[in-house]
Amino acid sequence: MLNYIIKRIGIAIPTLLILIAVTFYLMHAAPGGPFTSEKPLPPQVLANIEAKYGLDQPIWRQMTTYLWGILTEFDFGPSYKYHSRTVNEIIGQGFPITLKYGFWSFVVAIGVGISLGAIAAIRKNTWVDYFAVGISIGAQVLPNFVMAPLLIIVFTLWLGWLPGGGWHGGDWEYLVMPVIALSTSYMASIARITRSSMLEVLNANYIRTARAKGLPTKTIFFRHVFKPSLLPVISYLGPAFVGLITGSVLIDIFFSTGGMGYFFVNAAFNRDYAVMMGITILVGALTILFSLIVDLLYAWIDPKIRY
């Protein structure tokens, strides 16, 4: 187990370094720097600005400085667009918001998804099953950028129950629609995965044995069915996490929640490379960390896997 952990971390670190290097070189390969505008700056001014941000240094130098800043002080440097702000401040403002609705979406997706899948599997080929499968297929073809406007139309414009956007410190009214829009398609996938793996487990010989022994259905379900059928769900959590983070870009646009996605898109349109780079690297690091946790969890739960 310890070997496995070390090996996985051994992959995670180079992955992160490659990600940083690639994004960094991409930024610098871009035609036109962040300070090229329609009205060209006088060369002296431009040179001064570039010197201030260290852009006159050779590229490997810039990169090592950047990397060093991240590693030692967790410092992603200054924003190129908002001169008084650092990337850290921008991330610090947006990240907690994304984290909050992302967390709730995750909880909802897992909770509802597993329950729906389990019910569908237990009541296979009844209307409950068809209903659950129908919902999960429907939710899968409704990506979040379709869900979000539909939710706003129904709940804000027609029914007037919920505010159409804003954050207000994350009151529940402001959380409901972002969470629904973000979690639906992952909930659907989790439900489908749970259903099919649970069906497989329910058909296994040891379940038949348990039934033959005369164990009550409840015991069979919670003691013998539940855990093994969740394994595929766990391996899906990594991709789901990435999807939730990516989806935040959209949630922030639609519901004006002001999370990280908002700053990312803004930076994309302003060509504020420092902010884009900072957010990409942060998201990458989180993804890597999360998939590491998922893998370890998997190894810990699944008795068949030995390292």
Partner 1 sequence: MIVANKNKIISMAKNLSEDKTTSGRSLWADARTRFIRNKAAITSLFILALIVLFSFVGPYFAVWTYEQIDWNTMGSAATLGMPSIETGHYFGTDDLGRDIYSRVIQGTQISLMVGVVGATIAVVVGTLYGATSGYIGGRTDQIMMRIVDILMAIPFMFVLILLLVVFGRSIVMLFVGIGLLSWLDMSRIVRGQTLNLKNKEFIEAAKATGVSDYKIIMRHIVPNLLGIVAVYATLLVPGIIIAESFISFLGLGVQEPKTSWGALISEGAGTINYDTEWQLLFPLAFFIVTLFCIYFIGDGLRDALDPKER
Residue of the chain from 220, 245, 274, 275 that contacts partner 1 (CB under 8 A) = 245
> Of residues 214-243, which lie at the interface with partner 1 (CB under 8 A)?
242
Q: What binding mask, one character per residue, do residues 257-276 give for partner 1 by CB under 8 A, x or -?
A: -------xx--xx-x----x
Residue 182 engages partner 1 in binding (rule: CB under 8 A):
no
Nearer to partner 1, 18 or 45 (CB): 18
Q: How many CA atoms lie within 13 A of 190 on its CB side?
A: 28
> Of residues 4-33, which lie at the interface with partner 1 (CB under 8 A)?
11-12, 14-15, 18-19, 22-23, 26-27, 29-31
**Contact yes or no for 77/87 (Cβ under 8 A):** yes
Residue 46 engages partner 1 in binding (rule: CB under 8 A):
no
Residue of the chain from 162, 191, 244, 249 that contacts partner 1 (CB under 8 A) = 249
Nearer to partner 1, 23 or 225 (CB): 23
Q: Buried b vs exposed e over 256-270: b needs ≥16 C-beta within 10 Å?
A: ebbbbbbbbebbeee
Residue of the chain from 6, 141, 159, 212 that contacts partner 1 (CB under 8 A) = 141
**Contact yes or no for 190/236 (Cβ under 8 A):** yes
Taken in order 96, 262, 12, 289, is the CA torsion positive or negative?
positive
Name the minimum Å distance from CB 296 to partner 1.
15
Number of residues that bind partner 1 (CB under 8 A): 44
Name the minimum Å distance from CB 73 to partner 1.
23
Q: What binding mask, one character per residue, do residues 275-304 give for partner 1 by CB under 8 A, x or -?
A: -x--xx--xx--xx--x-------------
For the chain, state the CA radius of gyration.
24
d(CA 15, CA 288): 8
Name the minimum Å distance from CB 222 to partner 1.
27
Residue from 66, 1, 2, 74 nearest 28 by CA:
66
Q: What binding mask, one character per residue, do residues 106-125 give for partner 1 by CB under 8 A, x or -?
A: --------------------
The contact set with partner 1 (CB under 8 A) reads 11-12, 14-15, 18-19, 22-23, 26-27, 29-31, 137, 140-143, 145-146, 148-149, 152-153, 157, 242, 245-246, 249-250, 253, 264-265, 268-269, 271, 276, 279-280, 283-284, 287-288, 291
